Every structure is written in C-alpha cells, then in structure tokens.
Amino acid sequence: MEKIGQFPHRRWNPLRQSWVLVSPHRTQRPWQGEVGQKAAPSEVAYDPQCYLCPGNQRAGGATNPAYEGIFSFVNDYSALLPDSPSVSELAASPLLVAGSARGLCKVLCFHPNHSLTLASMTRTQIRRVVDAWTQEYKELAGLDWIEYVQIFENRGAMMGASNPHPHGQIWATGFVPDEPAAETTAQREHLARTGHCLLCDYMTAESAAGERVIFENAHFVALVPWWATWPFEVLLVSRRHLGALPELSDDERDGLADVLKRLTTRFDNLFQTSFPYTMGFHQSPVGETAYPEWHFHAHFYPPLLRSATVRKFMVGFEMLGMPQRDITPEDAARQLRACSEEHSWRKAESQL
C-alpha cells in the first residue's frame, strides 16, 4: 500500500466533524502570485504614535496609564456591546432570522515594550500574561449573561493586526460562537459514544504515532494536527483533562508559558521572520452547566506557506468546496521540529 502522504487524500477533523483535502504534490507548482513583505520586528521600545504604548492617547480619545506591566481595557471600537437590545426575527419567514448578540470586548497589552513579541519575551513575562488571561477569564465568566470567553491574538499585519505592540484580545459573548459550539458537540458525542475524552484519546494516538508531535513538556503537547488546514497549523493540548484556564495549577501555568515561548520562537526561526499567526484558546463554555467533555487546548493558525513572503490563500475550492492544504502535516511537523528554540536570526533583545 502506498504511503498516504504521497498522493491526494482527505483527512477527518473529529473536533470540527469535517474533512480537509491534502494535496502534497502541489508544492511543486510554480508561484507567480502575490509575494508579501518580510515581517521585521519593531526596533523601538516606545513609539509615540502607538495607541497601545504607555501614556499615549488611544484613537477613541482615552489616555493609557504609564503602565509597567500588563494593561487591559475595553476595546474602543468593540465588535460587541454589553447593552445591545434583545433581537428576534426581523421578518415573517424562517429564513430571515436574527438573534441577540451581546458581548464585551477587551484588549490586553502583554508588555509596555513596543518591540517585544511572545517569542522575544521571557518565560516569566509570558507567565504573567497567562495569569492575566486567567484573571480576565474569571472576571468575565462571572457576569451572569456571558456564555463564552474567547481569548486570542492576531500577530502580524498579514493576519490583520493593526498594531505591532504585543497585545491580544478577549471577547466575552452572550452566546457560544460557532467554532467552540461545534467542538462542544463533537466532544460531547465522543464522550457519550466511548466514555472517553476526545482529545485525551487523540493525544494517545498522536503519542503512539510520533510523527506530528513537535515537542512537549510535562504539562502540554505541541503538534501539527492530523487534520491541519493551514500549512504550519499547531494544536497545543493540555496533558491533564481540564476545561478552562482557571483549572490550571501553578506548574501547568508555567508549562503553558514554556510551550508558548518555545513554539513562537520555532515559528520565527522557520522562515527567519517575525511569524504571523492567529492564536486562540478553546475552553469550556461558562455558566452553571457542566461540560465534562471539554478539554483545554489552543489553536495556532499561521498563513505562511513556502517562505516569509508567500502565504496560503483560502480561495476557490477552499471557499466553495472544502479546505485544502499542500504540504502534509507530517512534513510541517518535521520542519518545525528542525527549528531551534533560540532565535537564530535576530540579536537577543534586552528585557525590561
């Protein structure tokens, strides 16, 4: 039987209950499409024009405090509002339906130093970010109308980040968004069918296979998932079965800071660039309902495909048919395993 990575095939994503098309032979095609700019990190610790730097005025008119650690605030241009009115159907048709969309959107600045990224921060600094994420989660989950807390980071202009200052976002919603809702269904069905956690079983399978695991520590595993859609997509999974950030022990918080540091550094070293990505934690919905099926994890979706300037586009068949990838997850994992966990292309920066 031919090795699966040598010819087109489909792979099943049990978390999303959908397929992805893998076409490994397409990496040989010539490229005459868009070539972007190589991303370079900022070289200044303070930018007077940056609306996230300490002491500067934001676009909405507020002035940031002269913060020396982590700083969070309600987004001046929030996509969701906590006082949105109740909405029902807009027309007398089951095909024209609207629903309420209340929410609270926050920005979390990871550090006052404008030039830093997670990859260039120390583990101690990242651990403070983990603690801040956890505290924000607790506070937002404590609001009686919130059903989900989505913590994420868009890194780099290629992923729509409007500012290079190290920061992420937290959107707390009065509903469960589509992606975690789909994962809730998949994990719940797997638990009902097998009596086991889906991601616990998946980690057992990946550990046995080995070829998609990039690295691991005592508390987390970093791997390119079997069903990865983006070329260098990575899944971070907690070893222990738990549902959300507040359940992490002190050692597990340290472990999360460690894997974030090591993974983002490998990303930077892959194409010798400040690597763009969207990253987000998927956690159990909040409220009084128990979610024993939920297993804490994070998704990294980087767009780069061949180099620091050539990205993967989700167009054509991907938009109209199904997701498709060119390099196999095994090859992506191999390339990331080969990357150093020390920055090999930029001078070590002084930490504040």
Residue with tokens 């707390």: 172
Residue with tokens 């990859």: 119
pLDDT at 287: 87
Q: Rounded CA gap, 18 and 11, in Å?
A: 9
Residue 282: helix, strand or coil by DSSP? Answer: strand
Q: Rounded CA gap, 335 and 329, in Å?
A: 10
Q: Rounded CA gap, 253 and 25, in Å?
A: 40
Q: Rounded CA gap, 329 and 334, in Å?
A: 9
Structure tokens at 140: 């937002």
Torsion sign, CA atoms 204, 233, 116, 337 = positive
Number of neighbouring beta carbons within 10 Å of residue 75: 16
- Among residues 165, 167, 219, 282, the one annotated as catalytic is 167
User: All domains of the chain, ordered by start, with CATH?
Assistant: 38-337 (3.30.428.10)
Structure tokens at 44: 């200044």
pLDDT at 1: 34
pLDDT at 171: 98
Q: Residue 245: what are its φ and ψ, rounded to 5°?
A: -50, -45
Q: Where are the beta strands (DSSP E) in 68-212?
A: 71-74, 103-109, 148-155, 167-173
pLDDT at 350: 39
Q: Rounded CA gap, 199 and 243, in Å?
A: 11
pLDDT at 238: 98
Cβ-contact 282, 15 below 8 angstroms? no
Q: Which long-range contacts (CB under 8 A, 24 or more apart) does 216-220 make?
A: 217/255, 217/258, 217/259, 218/251, 218/255, 219/251, 219/252, 219/254, 219/255, 219/256, 220/252, 220/255, 220/256, 220/258, 220/259
Q: Verify whether residue 219 is a known catalytic residue.
A: no
pLDDT at 37: 58
Q: Rounded CA gap, 193 and 267, in Å?
A: 37
Measured N-to-C along each axis, helices 250-270 and 123-141 cross at an angle, to the nearest 10 degrees, of 120
For the chain, 352 residues long, give each residue's pLDDT as a single digit of tens. Answer: 356 767 899 999 999 999 999 998 765 555 445 555 566 666 899 999 999 999 999 988 999 999 999 999 999 999 999 998 877 655 667 788 888 899 999 999 999 999 999 999 999 999 999 999 999 999 999 999 999 999 999 999 898 888 999 999 999 999 999 999 999 999 999 999 999 999 999 999 999 999 999 999 999 999 999 999 999 999 999 999 999 999 999 999 999 999 999 999 999 999 999 999 999 999 999 988 899 999 999 999 999 998 998 899 899 999 999 999 989 999 999 999 999 999 876 654 434 4
